[in-house]
Structure 1
Amino acid sequence: MKNIAVIGAGTMGNGIAHTFAQNGFKVNLIDISEASLEKGLETISRNLDRMIAKAVISEDQKKDTLNNINTFTAIPEGVKTVDLVVEAATENTTLKIKIFEQLDAACQPHTILATNTSSISITQIAAVTQRPELVIGMHFMNPVPLMKLVEIIRGYNTSDAVTKTIMDLSKTLGKVPVEVNDYPGFVANRILMPMLNESIETLYNGVAGVEEIDTVMKLGMAHPMGPLQLADFIGLDVCLSILNVMYDGFKNPKYAPCPLLVNMVRAGKLGVKSGEGFYDYSESRKAETVAKQFKK
């Protein structure tokens, strides 16, 4: 298995493409937007430069990594010769189902179809294909080139052979794969998102401010980043989407997203990606706390 396709050139997609390419795989990076592909390649190049500066890789390894990546704007052309597709599109069930219908029609019969979803049912996605035994979850952590964990999620029909193949493949990437079963949020987000949501509730209820909440969790619980800052880095829209998936899946009010989170997403305050969330990430006010919108 040496030929890989990655769907989506955003934060997760370009990180996944980078990781495979750096480990010698030929990668077809696919996105409907040429601008997104260019931005994705620029991000990969900058990240490789950081690795060179830290003496982790050489200039030649950077060139080899970039040479291993080809870009495409159409799924059929980009996936027709690959052995594995990793879908890393927006965390939207309807979109992912549409993509997997296209992949099932365009890929060779043996091709394994993986999704980087952080919460959506693998079984539901697999059900729209004619190869549910070849569909699996491959949930990388952000930033992909640095983070070791990969959640490997088995759908109801995922075969033992495919699971073993993807577990072994993850190890060749220098990752630590952990096999989990297909329930909303899997393990990582089933535990993480309620903590982030409760942190937002704590702010919403006026118990403490943004910096105070983050300081308590960093110094008191030894977290490297406070939960509100982490939510900003994940993307508040992504957090909301995952919480909604878990709330819909479990019908348990403990997963209901905080009204403040809902309002911030509606207002376009999405965190780092929009320049403002719980903190201000504009050039003039890097990581300053934003207080004005934290009202009931």
Structure 2
Amino acid sequence: MGITTVGIVGAGTMGNGIAQACAVKGLNVVMVDVSDAAVAKGVNTVSGSLERLLKKEKITAADKDAALARILGSTHYDDLKGAQLVIEAATENHALKVQILQQLDTILAPEVIVATNTSSISITKLAAVTRRADRFIGMHFFNPVPMMALVEIIRGLQTSDATHDAVHAMAIALGKTPITVKNNPGFVVNRILVPMINEAFFVLAEGLATADDIDAGMKLGCNQPIGPLALADMIGLDVCLAVMDVYVAEFADSKYRPCPLLKEMVAAGRLGRKTGQGVYKY
């Protein structure tokens, strides 16, 4: 089954980024969210991103117009019926994802592949709530999606070879570099990355150094392009906390306990760039 139309549930940061990555490669996109305002914001974000590429002369005006024309924004799940692949890119919340996946099951044809962009939730568990477990897979993009080359392809216990191969091939068609990983909390990248970010919050909370110096130390000493605290602000502190909570629940190991400072900042609504303040002000 060739993939020519991709459905995306969620027009937020990840959803609209995936929409852009697909549209610029010639795929038709249906991007669904719960409100007209959310959909409009997602489409406008794609337009702004493409405009920046146009100003840098990385695309032409015709490229921009063609990509935007391929994206249909909608609040109706029925508009996803023509897609061969639907990617769930909603908030990192298990109950919400289950609700979305079960709703998709009532709408999509049996042969349609459904992927989740989860960064930590079990693919096997999510597959089990669907009626297409063999055609369910994890497709974890990284933020910002249009710029980041990596896609983690995560197989659940039930995922078929055909589903894996189709999604793997699509990632390559998008110009991404896919890696195949086993289902496990956090998969590969976030299993390593988010505990490091959590440890940076412990270092900050203990007053060992300022946020600027912590980030400078990791950039200059470990050759990281961005420090862990600034990266947390980019990812979203709420997302980082949600991932650590998954680790605590799944591994039952105290080494994954979330830093109290991280929890407090999330409780205060200081989630990073998306709220204008996290570790840093924006």
Q: Does the CA-based 8 Å contact 1:114-1:135 persist in structure 2?
A: yes
Between the two proteins, the alignment pairs up a number of residues equal to: 280
Aligned to 1:213, the other structure's residue is in SS state helix
Q: CA deviation at 1:80?
A: 1.3
Q: CA deviation at 1:183?
A: 0.4
Taking the TM superposition and a 5 Å limit, the aligned residue runs for 1:103-252 are: 103-252=104-253
Aligned to 1:4: 6
Q: CA deviation at 1:78?
A: 2.0
Q: TM-score normalized by structure 1? A: 0.94
Aligned to 1:68: 70
What is the CA–CA distance in structure 2 between the aligned matches of 1:126 and 1:194, rounded to whole Å?
26
- Output the amino acid matched with 2:271: L
Q: Does the CA-based 8 Å contact 1:7-1:88 persist in structure 2?
A: yes
Q: CA deviation at 1:222?
A: 0.9
Aligned to 1:37: 39
Deviation readout 1:97-123 (Å, 9 max, x if unpaired): 000001111101110000000000111
Deviation readout 1:226-249 (Å, 9 max, x if unpaired): 110110110000000011011111
Which 4+ stretches in 1 moved above 6 angstroms? none
Aligned to 1:5, the other structure's residue is in SS state strand
Q: Does the CA-based 8 Å contact 1:123-1:156 persist in structure 2?
A: yes
What is the CA–CA distance in structure 2 between the aligned matches of 1:198 and 1:278, rounded to whole Å?
14
Q: Does the CA-based 8 Å contact 1:81-1:108 persist in structure 2?
A: no
What is the CA–CA distance in structure 2 between the aligned matches of 1:191 and 1:43, rounded to whole Å?
30
Aligned to 2:51: 49
What percentage of residue pairs aligned between the two structures are identical? Answer: 50
What is the CA–CA distance in structure 2 between the aligned matches of 1:149 and 1:57, rounded to whole Å?
21
Aligned to 1:63, the other structure's residue is in SS state helix
Aligned to 1:150, the other structure's residue is in SS state strand
What is the CA–CA distance in structure 1 between the aligned matches of 2:80 and 2:51, rounded to whole Å?
29
- Output the amino acid matched with 1:266: A
Give RMSD over aligned pairs.
0.7
Structure 2 residues not aligned, in runs of 5+:
none
What is the CA–CA distance in structure 1 between the aligned matches of 2:79 and 2:113, rounded to whole Å?
14
Q: TM-score normalized by structure 2? A: 0.98
Deviation readout 1:30-58 (Å, 9 max, x if unpaired): 00111111111111011101111121110
What is the CA–CA distance in structure 1 between the aligned matches of 2:170 and 2:281, rounded to whole Å?
39
Aligned to 1:96: 97
Q: Does the CA-based 8 Å contact 2:186-2:243 persist in structure 1?
A: yes
Taking the TM superposition and a 5 Å limit, the aligned residue runs for 1:233-272 are: 233-272=234-273
